[in-house]
Amino acid sequence: MLTVGDKFPEFELVGVDTNDLSTAFKDIVYKPSEKKDTYAGKWKVVFFWPKDFTFVCPTEIVEFGNLNGDFADRDVQVLGASIDSEFVHLAWRNDHEDLGKLPFPMLADVKRDLSEALGILDRDAGVTLRATFVVDPNGVIQHVSVNNLNVGRNPAETLRLIDALQTDELCPCNWEQGEEVIKV
């Protein structure tokens, strides 16, 4: 599995960011080697869930959506992903009331290329683990967390970590934005 300090892998995936079939599908590209990046210059939170139409997944996805404005205030683009197709993502958005208004794209890693490059496929189930990657504007992974399939993550903690990472300072345990950092 890739970790802190590694370069985030390049990818080109279809994202779903509306519920309208005529405008739902959008190519999301992250290929710095070709000077192509849909969200160039931004921090990125790329989080993965196992499968659409499941039970724990929408609780996490909706909470990332609820905090999207806070992430945007920190110049962070949120990207959600699973191994489901863009058509399954669109169907789920249209079926699940809370997912219909998501403010970020749901990426379709159908061929599992990105999931394999990151090393986050569950060996037995063949789906992605609940992995979260915080990537700085230079494409370097600054934080990784991975949960088992049955345990949801805490998007507010991801936001707190971004606040700490963006200080470029020493931040103590449980540090929150606005608190003192450690001065050596």
Tokens describing residue 50: 């196992």
Tokens describing residue 69: 């404005």
| Angle at alpha carbon of residue 103, lines to 47 and 70, rounded to 5° | 75
Summarised one tens digit per residue, pLDDT across range 6-40 is 999 999 999 999 999 999 999 999 999 999 999 99
Active-site option among 14, 24, 57, 164: 57
Identify whether 173 is a catalytic site residue: no
d(CA 76, CA 79): 10
CATH topology of domain 11-151: Glutaredoxin (3.40.30)
pLDDT at 20: 93
pLDDT at 52: 98
Amino acid at 26: K
pLDDT at 110: 98
Each residue's pLDDT expressed in tens, for the chain with a length of 184 residues? 999 999 999 999 999 999 999 999 999 999 999 999 999 999 999 999 999 999 999 999 999 999 999 999 999 999 999 999 999 999 999 999 999 999 999 999 999 999 999 999 999 999 999 999 999 999 999 999 999 999 999 999 999 999 999 999 999 999 999 999 999 9
C-alpha count within 13 angstroms, C-beta hemisphere, residue 131: 24
d(CA 6, CA 9): 9
Q: With the C-alpha atoms ordered 149, 136, 118, 23, is the resulting torsion angle positive or negative?
A: positive
Residue with structure tokens 């990818």? 11
Name 62's bridge partners.
Answer: none
Tokens describing residue 128: 């992605």
Domain boundaries defined on the chain: 11-151
